[in-house]
Each structure stands twice: as structure tokens, then as C-alpha cells.
Structure 1
Amino acid sequence: MKAIADYLVMMRSFLKILSGLFLFIFLVSCSNEEKPAKVSVETFFKNPQQSNFQISPDGKFISYLKPYQGKLNLFVQSLTSKASFRISSFTDQSVRNYFWASNTHLLYYKDNGARENFQLFSSIYDGSKTIKISLKPDTKVTFLDYLKYDSNDILLAINERNPENFDVYSLDLKTGKKILVEKNPGSIIDWIADNDGEIRMAIGSDGVTETLYYREKGSKAFKPVKSSNFINTLKPIGFSSKMHHIFALSDINRDKKAVVELNCLTGEETKVLYENKERDVLEVSYSRKSQSLNFAVFENPKREIYFFDKQLKEAFADIKKKLSNDEIRLIHKDQKEQHLIIRTFTDRDPGSYYFYNLEDRNLMKLADVNPDIKPSEMCEMKHVKFKNRDGLEIEGFLTLPKGRGSKNLPVVIYPHSGPNLRNSWAYSPEVQFFANRGYAVFQINFRGSTGFGKSFLKQGFKNWSKNIQHDITDGVNWLIKEELADANRIAIFGYSFGGFSALNQVVYNPNLYVCAASYSGYINLFTYLKGFPAYYKPYQQMLDVLIGNPEKDVEYLRYSSPVFQTNKIKTPLIIWQGGKDPKVNLSETNQFVKELRKNQVEVNYIVDKTEGHYLSDEKNKINFYTQVDLFFDKYLNRSK
């Protein structure tokens, strides 16, 4: 036994040394690279010329978004005749999203920046016979399923009757007429149709417990299958060819999300189809055609794919071989699942969109995401780990600038939004923009980030300004201890929850940062909680657990809200605010900035009145990052 114990100690020491060696090699390799030319802000943040590619169900047409008179509009191209069509011609707002509703029709909606914007349109693939779907103001619409690919009807979930609940409607794509199919009894938060367009499953919630309901084909009565606390995940993926069975993503009775088969009559897992003991399964691809699974995806730290489908596994191997092993994401597929839209990328390359034919293995490039980015000039994103103050291992990504050495660098801390999202190994325009300016960029998957299991996720609950911020602070101190960061030249930048984190960091760590940037950062959690739309009512008790209760957790929510801490902020700030932001109140931010300036804090305050929570207009986006560029240069390059 002693020999085994000694061996384990030796191996742990070896792995620790090996980890340090990898970091050392990474640092040395970065320090030997030449300093790249400065790339313009416009190059990093301009809208892609073509994006959001999809394929029609019958595989005859490719659709995509493309700028037209300064706004993103919808286009379609025939794969047979090569004819192309502009479906929309909006000049005031961009098309925010769209999808194929049948072989001939597309549904799309405009973006006005607000939380609820469903100016919904139906159009034939050549742009003819466009109709606007009649909806009440502030109505939200969710696509559920096709009834049949070759029909004129589609299933939608709409909260038009009652803002708090979603009913199921059948929409006639030619006339815009809606017919109520399923009336919400008041507790259903999700509806799920089978492959024939019949609603067969539903998920209900009382705010704490979620219940999966199922009904047999042709039946009107739903029966409960399984109930569990909302902290657990039981997410249906699709119907199995085995009667009364479904595929689901579940972490019930386990820490990591796994792919399972579930018997809807008994509520029991009949089989674990795939699980990874170290990571959550983040994505599962389902085949409607064969009612089977294609693959499951997890990240460790890069995307790894477990294939259920042999043909698709061979196809991905063929694509990787043709594209020099770039990372691959399946974006869309047609009804027969023979034609695929894929996107490639690396940490240095935003990548391209391709059309792939499984039958003849023909690979055709559709568009580059950003052809002006030269991967050779971009910087490597390296996976790193450090121990936080509680002894917990925290992961993240470190990107070092080229030609600047590897010691005492100016650094931009870049916390992710969510907070239950994550940083991934991929191309990021923000990361590469900062690295191109000579700054190291540190992205931290703090407690509360997804992908690391239920236990890690739960540690972020009601800890937005404590555990999560402690992990960010500990990461910064680790950089300083490793002599990677110049302690006098550290900035922090974030969007949404990341912006909230940037503001929290300068409240409670005023001497750690020389400047900070908040892009749509939450400033008042009371206002944030109050601002949730009516259909979040079933989630109210869940929000109390995740964020805090406005009546019972007053002291904590005040502590967490930067708007109440203006007297503690001394750090120069750049703040961006959208005039139509439903999550961050414009008047409140105006007052917040006024108080900061009264306290002699330097604030570069940018308001774009037509924008919502995120920047969608290309000019506004370029202006904001130009301001960030100047602001960070002023503080991070002043003592080289």
C-alpha cells in the first residue's frame, strides 16, 4: 500500500511539473514571435458579408444573412440554377433571425433592440408573396416544429393570449392565419412535438420543481413522467424509434450531464448512451430521419465529439482531412440529412462556411466569416489552470500578444457573460483585438460556468458578487504571481454579466485595475430582477435561488449592485448603454454616471439610443471599440 501511495505522490508531482513545463514552452514560443502589424478596429468588428447559413428542407436552396444598405437582410440562392434572391429589404433594422418553415417558405423577424420584438414575416424563397404576421405588441414567438415539410403550416409557441404563458398555434404560412392547437393550463414552460408535428411532450414548472409530461400518439391526456428540482437537468432531445422512449440530456443522480434513453411510461432511464466523467455533454445532434442520435459534444478544453453515427463520423474525418484539421461545427442539415452546412474555425481563424454532400463527399466553400483576418497575425489561445483561495482548480484561457515577451505584460481580464455560460477555445474578435494591441488576455471559467458539472455550476448561485468575483480576483493575482502581468497595467472588460463583473471588480478591488470597460453591464440587480418579462413568472422562485430575492436578500443585492457603491469606485471607466436595453435601465445608468463624475471619477459614457442589450449596428459597434481602443491605450501603455 505504501508503494502505491508513494507512486501516486510521485505522479501528482510529475503532472504538476509537466503542466508548468507546458506553460513555460508556451510563454517562450510567444516571446520569440515577431510583433504583428496593427489591425484596424473595422477589420475586427465589421459585419460578415455572409452569415447564418441554412439549407432548405428539400436541399434545393441555401439561405443566409448579408448586408444591404447597411443592415443585415435575408438572401436565398438556388443550388441548381444558381439564381439568387433578396428576401428582405429592411433599411431601418436588421433581420435578427430566420428559419425555413417549409420547403418553400421562410419565417424571419426584425431587430429593434428591445427584449420583445417580433415583427414576424413569412415569405416564399424567391422573395415573393411576403406577409407580415399579425401579433399583439410585446408578443414573443418560438418555433416548435414543422407539421410537414411540404405543407403550408408550422407550429409556433406564442404568448399572445396571456403574456405569462405560451400556447401552441398552427400558422398558415400563406395567409398568416393562426389556429390555437394547445392551450396552456398555466404551468407549461415548453412544448415538444414529435416527428409528425404532434405535441407529445411538455415541461411544466411551479418555480422549483420541473415535470416532464408525455402522452401517447393520438391521446389528449398528458401524464407526468418525471419530476425533479430545477437544479437538475432533464432535457428531451428527440423521440426514439423504440416506442414510448426518448433521448434526453440528464444530470439527475449524477454530477455531469449525460446522454440517456428514457422510458416515458415508467420515467426510468433504460440506458446511458454516453457520458464523460470530467465534463458535461454540451450539445447533442439528433436525426429526425432515423429517430436516432448523430453525435454528442463536450469540451476538454477543445471541442471533442463522440459519434453515434458511423457515416457522419467518416464525413467529419473527411472534412478535417480536407481542411487541415480545423475545428468543425454542424450548423444545419436538410430533411434527408445528406446535405450539411458546416462552419470551421480555430483560435486564430474565424473560419468559413461550407456546403458538404454526404453522397459524393463534395465540399464547397460558401463564404469566409472574415476574409480580412490573417491567422498568421493572430495569437494563440492557451488553456491554463490555477487554484483559487478555496483550493478549487479554476480553468481558463490565456492569450499572449506576439513579439512582446512573456513577462510583466499589460493585461485585459475578460470575464464571460451569463454567468452560466463559458469561455471556449475558439476565435474571438475581442480577444484577438486586445492581443493585437499588445495586451495579454485572460478569460476565466469561474464558478457558475457551464460544462464542468452541476456542483461547479451551483457554486455560482447567489454568488454573483462573491464566489464568482473571488475567482476573477484570484486569477488576476495568479497572473501577477507568475510574473505574466504587470501589476500596474491591468484592465478589465466585459459584456452583460461580464460588464457587471468589471464594475464589481473595481468596487471591491479598487487598486487592482488601472481602468475598466462595461458593455451593457448590470448596475442594479433589483431593477434587473424586476425587468424580466411576464413569461418568466413560472421561474420566479428559481431566480430567487440563482440571483436573490428582492425582499429577503436586500442587503446582499445592494452589496452586489454597483449603482449603490459609487463612493467606492475610483477607477477610470468606459460605459456603453443601449437606449432600448430591457436589462439595464437607461435613466438609472445616466444617474450612475452622474454620481461617478460628481465623485471625480473619469467616465467615458457612450449611449446608442437605437440599440438594445447588444450592439447590432456596425457603425455603433466600430465606434464603441474605437473608444475602448483609445481608452485602454491611455492607461495600459503609459508606463512601458
Structure 2
Amino acid sequence: MRIGIIGQVAVAALVASSWVQGAAAQSADAKKFGARESVEHIGLSPDGNQVVFLAPLAGASSGVFVAQTDGSGIVRRILMADGKPETLRWCRWASNTRIVCQVQSEAPSGIGAIGYSRLVSLGGDGANLKLLSPRTSFRALGPMQDGGGIIDWLPEADGDVMMTREFVPEMSTGTHVAQTRSGLGVERVGTTNLSRKVVETARDDAVEYITDGFGTVRVMGSVVKDGSDYLTGRIRYSYRKPDGRSWDQLSMLDTLAGTGFNPYAVDRDLNVAYGFDGLDGRTALYRIKLDGSMARELVFKHDGVDVDGLIRIGRRQRVVGVTYATEKREAEFFDPELKTLATMLGRALPKLPLIRFMDASNDENRLLFWAGSDVDPGRYFVFDRKAKKVMELMLARPELETTTLATVKPISFAAADGTQIPAYLTLPAGSDGKGLPAIVMPHGGPGARDEWGFDWLAQFYAARGYAVLQPNFRGSTGYGDAWFVNNGFKSWKTAIGDVNDGGRWLVKQGIAAPDKLAIVGWSYGGYAALQSAVTEPGLFKAVVAIAPVTDLDLLRQESVNYTNRWVVDRFIGSGPHVAEGSPARHADRISVPVLLFHGDRDTNVGVGESRVMAKRLRDAGKKVDYVEYRDLDHYLDDADARTGMLDKSDGFLRASMGMPAKAD
């Protein structure tokens, strides 16, 4: 079964500084859990003999590595980015000798930051680096934020790809060669020679193109704008019949209301589009014929939760199954061979019940997959179907390999109105689960949910002796329309009420000591933590908020100069809930210490949100500590920053709740 972990030692030697440099930590736990995941993205070469993966280097930097899948341990670094601000997001093979990577950057913009992306290509040996995204001219009439995305890897083309292109018009005064096209189009691009051929001409309203995996664009998404050229949140999807060029309407999607068929993939042989749509208040998977009949077929539904993910495999990204989350993430395979294979892998890896297929060779003989659990952060494997051999490649978090992690238990608790709220409870390993310091940790989003599995933040606090409760409060996604209500901002009273009831449940069950109950959250979770302290002063004895929303009107203001301003406005809504649900406006009601963290290049939640919150708390004479990270984004992808954040938050919680410092 196990032939050895390729290059684990070699990679460790190359990237060791990623978890030993930086500010000194009080605890070894902070170093281990603050280390970034050792595989940030991974892809399998078309012949199945090599993988390319991103791995963290020192601080926020990352490297691109290539390794053999034969267990030889040969690993080479071919590219790196410092993370401040250029960040590597993903890399995949365009051929057996050519790799494409996405690089992302942010630039300061008012109270937040604005993001840019570019695609580059390079050889598997790191040579012949080229910018794959088109270069912009000094005559351009605006910035090109989107450097394009790969929509078809063209397996038969050996290095050509189909990618979207954002065409930016140019000033034409004094020239006859100015670019006049505007909007999103599609080009076929050579990753070695940079040849470019327009496949779809630019359209001002286009936002998405979907191919059939064989180089033919079959579906296009176009935004619906108002009279002032602002987005409305609606997308019109059109399709082409086989061998046709004209567009016929497929569906109208309202992204905020969650109504309408949302296409994700096209199957050429079946001549259908797969996508998600509502059914009885939940999301189900459908397929629609693209022959002009619009014949619609229900493919899969679940009576309790939303069906929310496609399983796609191979370089043509064919649809082979669907995923959904009940207490745990589940998979339903349509492909009989893969269904049998998944069952076999489940038996072969009984301690790693979460399995996710990542990539495949051209012939689909070799499959790259990840497997993990609540107490195993995961490991990567290659399965050779002909040889019937599973080869373990590398660990997701090697620094935790010898650490005993805490089990995660799905539970439910009663809200004030009697509704059962699903949640996950993590107790310190070896604990009796009674009279502990405890943390309620609401998830981000709000359009998200927690799932069973490894969570580095929850596991850190469990390792430090805290019980951690992660509630999927009303306002979370995954449980249908009635559970989502109007989203966690418009319906914040319900969402925050559920979060607070989770804290009360911990005390009532005897899990939490009443005077040692805190709340910690990231993004929307940080908002929920602060708003909980506003609505229930004293329930939680300390608040830690990471990259939080703090004022709903300030969040609205962040988009005022962009075309999505009315989409954000509609999402937040208007009425008393805006002022009542903005913790920065009620800082005087918060009676417990607050600790804030935020990166100044955050494009999700502007850093101004935390700056305002900290100022309001100080002006109200409240106890607040604010840490701002320079050149980091919403996710604080920096081992030094995360290590320091974990250490500081642990020390802050202990001091706020009258607990002694914990030794390793």
C-alpha cells in the first residue's frame, strides 16, 4: 500500500524556514498549527509520472515544486513568489513538459484592496518562463484585473489551452492599431510559443464560458445590468446546439435569491449541461438537453441538505458524481467504475473516510486523490488502476504527524425557539469534557457552513485545552432556503441568537465553566463574535475577531465605486437591521476585552472595518488590542503571522478569563 512519501525530506529541507523563522512563539503548538499546509495546490502530469505542487516557504512566500510519482524522492523547486504582494494560487500541467500557474496580487484601494491575477507558463524544469496573460498597453483606458482563466486544457493539443481574456479598449488618438474590443472573450493560446487565436469575440456582458472538454464553447453566462451599467445580480445563460454558432437562452440565474438553473459543466456525448437548481426549498443537480428541446432531468437530490458539488475527473473534467454534506461530506458516483473504486479505497483507507479526487492522467489510469479525517489533516496519493496500487505521495501537514489530535463530534443543540442547531464539538484529547475553558467558533461566509474534518484553528485551541463548538447557525448554507433565511446579515438576529444559544448550551451541559466561555471568529465569524458581545454582554468573557465585518454600511461603501455596488447593496439590504446589526456602532455595549486581527491587503473585508472598530472601542473606554498585518490578505497566509496570531489569542483568552499561562 505505502511505497514511501516522495520528497518529504527533500521538500522539508527546501522549505524548513517556513516554520522556524519569524517571531519567537510561547508555544510549540502555535508553531505546529500556525504552519501553512504543506500542499497548497497539486496537479498530475498528463502521463501520470509527475506532480506539480505549491508549498509554503518562509513567511508568506510559496514555491512551485515538481516531483516524480515513483517514490524516488526527487523534488525540484522551479518557481517562487514572496507573497507580498505576489501570491501563487495554483499550478497545473498543460503538457508533460509545460506548466501553467496563476499569480495573484493586491494593491491598496481606499479602506481595502483591489485584486489582480495573471497566468504564467514555464517548463517542468523551471525554464522558459512566459507571461501567458496578454500584456496591457500604456494606451489602455482601464486596468486589466483579470488575467484570464483556463476553461479547457485541450488534452490532445499538447500544450495549447483555451483561456478567457479580458479585453480592455485603448485610446485611439494618434494610432491605427489601438485595441477597440471590450469585455470577456476566449482565446486558444500556446503555452510555449504564446500563439493566440480568438475563439470567442469579446462581449461587454460576458462573465463565463463553459466548454465541452473537447475545445468547443457550448455555454455562455452574461450579466444583466441596469440602465446605469451596474450589475443586478442576475446572470443570463445561453447555449449552442451541436455544431451551431447562434446562442439560445438556457436559464436566468438570480445569484442573490438563489433561483434559476446554474450550469457548471457540459457533457458532449450526452449533449447536456449539468447544473444546480432549487427543488422543494433545497438545491439539487439537474441536466438539460442542449438540442433545442430543453428537456430537463433531475439527476440527484437529497431530502435533508443541499446538493452542492460536482465530482469531475480527467483533463476533460467529465462529470462522474456529486457531493453533499450531512454530518460528513458524502459522495454519490454515477460512473460505475469510480463508484467501485471509491468503495475499494474506503476499505483500504478506513481511517481516512474523506476522499477527494484531485486530478487524473490523460488516460485516467492514474488518479491523484487526497484522503483525510478529523484527526488526520490529510495525505496525497496516486492510484494506478492497471497495477491496482496506491502510492502515498506526501502529507498535508507533516509537522502534525506525531501530534495527537482531538476528535470532532457532530452534535445538535436547541435554540431558544426549540430549533435543533447542527454543530461540531471538539474536546481536548484525553479530556473528560467537563468544566473546561470553551470557545464558540462561528464560521465565515455568511454563505458557508462548517463540515466534519480537520480544522487547524479549532484543533489548535483544543490542543491548548479548550472545548470548541462550531455551530451551523441559521443563515448557514447547505441546509436549504428555510435555513439560510435571508442571509446572516439581513437575518442577523436569528443567526447571532443561535450562536449565543450555543454558548449557553456549553454551560448547561457542564462542558464549559461559566466564567471561562469565549468566542472566536474569522470574517463573518468575527462579525458574529463582535455582535454576540453587543447583544449578550457578559455571556462571552472575551472576543477574538479576525478580519471581521464591523459596520454593514461600511461594507456597502467598499463597493460603491464598482459595478457590483447594487448587488452588495441588495445583499445587505436596508432598514433598522443595518444600524442595529453593526457592532462598530454599539461599541459602548461591549463589556469584555476584544482582540482584533486584520491584513491591510484584504480584498474580502476591507481593513478599514477593524480600524473603525478598534477606534470606536477605544473611544468608548473599552479594552481592545488590534494587530494589523502589513501586505497580508484575508487569509493571513503567512506562517509567522499565523503563529503569532495563535499565540497572542491564546494568551489573550487566558488573561481575559483569569487562567494561568499554559506550558507545552
Q: Which residue of 1 aligns with 2:212?
A: 194
Equivalent pairs, count: 596
Q: Secondary structure at the match of 2:63?
A: strand
String of CA shifts for 1:327-376, please: whole Å, max 9, x gaps. 21112222222211111111111121111112212111111112332577
- In the TM superposition, residue 148 of structure 1 has moved relative to its aligned partner by 4.4
Which amino acid in 2 is paired with 1:145? D
Query: Partners in 1 of 2:546 and 2:317 — Cα distance?
Result: 43
Where do 1:388-537 residues align within 5 Å? 388-460=415-487, 462-463=489-490, 465-532=492-559, 537=563
Q: Residue 530 of structure 2 contacts residue 545 of structure 2 at CA under 8 Å; is this kept in 1?
A: yes
1:73 alignment partner, one of 63, 69, 72: 63
Q: Secondary structure at the match of 1:359?
A: coil
Where do 1:116-195 residues align within 5 Å? 116-132=115-131, 133-136=133-136, 137=143, 139-140=145-146, 141-161=148-168, 165-176=183-194, 178-195=196-213
String of CA shifts for 1:364-408, please: whole Å, max 9, x gaps. 111111233257722121111123234332211111223443333
Q: Which residue of 1 aligns with 2:5?
A: none
Q: Secondary structure at the match of 1:377?
A: coil
Q: Which residue of 1 aligns with 2:22?
A: none
Q: Which residue of 2 aligns with 1:599?
A: 620
Mark the CA change 1:543 to 1:183 in structure 2 (over 3 Å): closer, same or farther: farther
Q: Secondary structure at the match of 1:424?
A: coil
Q: Residue 211 of structure 1 contacts residue 227 of structure 1 at CA under 8 Å; is this kept in 2?
A: yes
Which amino acid in 1 is paired with 2:542? C
2:79 matched to 1:88?
yes
- In the TM superposition, residue 203 of structure 1 has moved relative to its aligned partner by 2.2
Q: Residue 480 of structure 1 contacts residue 486 of structure 1 at CA under 8 Å; is this kept in 2?
A: yes
1:311 alignment partner, one of 337, 349, 358: 337
Query: Partners in 2 of 1:635 and 1:430 — Cα distance?
Result: 19
Which amino acid in 2 is paired with 1:398? L
- In the TM superposition, residue 100 of structure 1 has moved relative to its aligned partner by 2.6
- In the TM superposition, residue 110 of structure 1 has moved relative to its aligned partner by 3.3
Query: Partners in 1 of 2:190 and 2:387 — Cα distance?
Result: 36
Query: Partners in 2 of 1:369 and 1:395 — Cα distance?
Result: 28
String of CA shifts for 1:459-512, please: whole Å, max 9, x gaps. 426525322112111222222333322222111111111111111111222211
String of CA shifts for 1:52-104, please: whole Å, max 9, x gaps. 22102332321111244552110112446955432203346542322333443
Q: Residue 597 of structure 2 contacts residue 610 of structure 2 at CA under 8 Å; is this kept in 1?
A: no
1:343 alignment partner, one of 366, 370, 373: 370
Q: Which residue of 1 aligns with 2:42?
A: 53
Which amino acid in 2 is paired with 1:221? S
Q: Residue 554 of structure 2 contacts residue 609 of structure 2 at CA under 8 Å; is this kept in 1?
A: no
2:583 alignment partner, one of 562, 584, 591: 562
String of CA shifts for 1:521-566, please: whole Å, max 9, x gaps. 11232332333498x73x5554344322xxxx16432322222222
Query: Partners in 2 of 1:447 and 1:463 — Cα distance?
Result: 12
Deviates more, 1:557-566 or 1:169-178: 169-178
Q: Which residue of 2 aligns with 1:5?
A: none
Q: State the identity %.
A: 24
Deviates more, 1:214-223 or 1:147-156: 147-156
| TM-score, length-scaled by structure 1 | 0.85
Where do 1:169-318 residues align within 5 Å? 169-176=187-194, 178-206=196-224, 207=232, 209-230=234-255, 231-232=258-259, 234-242=261-269, 244-251=271-278, 253-266=279-292, 268-287=294-313, 293-318=319-344
Query: Partners in 2 of 1:543 and 1:584 — Cα distance?
Result: 12
- In the TM superposition, residue 223 of structure 1 has moved relative to its aligned partner by 0.7
Q: Residue 559 of structure 2 contacts residue 568 of structure 2 at CA under 8 Å; is this kept in 1?
A: no
1:322 alignment partner, one of 348, 353, 358: 348
Q: Secondary structure at the match of 2:449?
A: coil
Deviates more, 1:258-267 or 1:286-295: 286-295
Query: Partners in 1 of 2:472 and 2:295 — Cα distance?
Result: 31
Which amino acid in 1 is paired with 2:33? F
- In the TM superposition, residue 423 of structure 1 has moved relative to its aligned partner by 0.4
Q: Residue 139 of structure 1 contacts residue 160 of structure 1 at CA under 8 Å; is this kept in 2?
A: no
Q: Residue 248 of structure 1 contacts residue 261 of structure 1 at CA under 8 Å; is this kept in 2?
A: yes
Which amino acid in 2 is paired with 1:204? S
Mark the CA change 1:375 to 1:248 in structure 2 (over 3 Å): closer, same or farther: farther
Query: Partners in 2 of 1:267 and 1:145 — Cα distance?
Result: 26
Deviates more, 1:590-599 or 1:289-298: 289-298
Q: Secondary structure at the match of 2:356?
A: strand
Q: Which residue of 2 aligns with 1:98?
A: 91
- In the TM superposition, residue 453 of structure 1 has moved relative to its aligned partner by 1.7
Which amino acid in 2 is paired with 1:446? F
Q: Residue 39 of structure 1 contacts residue 436 of structure 1 at CA under 8 Å; is this kept in 2?
A: no
Residue segments in structure 2 that go unaligned for 5+ positions in a row: 1-26, 107-112, 137-142, 170-180, 225-231
Q: Which residue of 2 aligns with 1:20?
A: none
Query: Partners in 2 of 1:607 and 1:370 — Cα distance?
Result: 27
Q: Which residue of 1 aligns with 2:228?
A: none
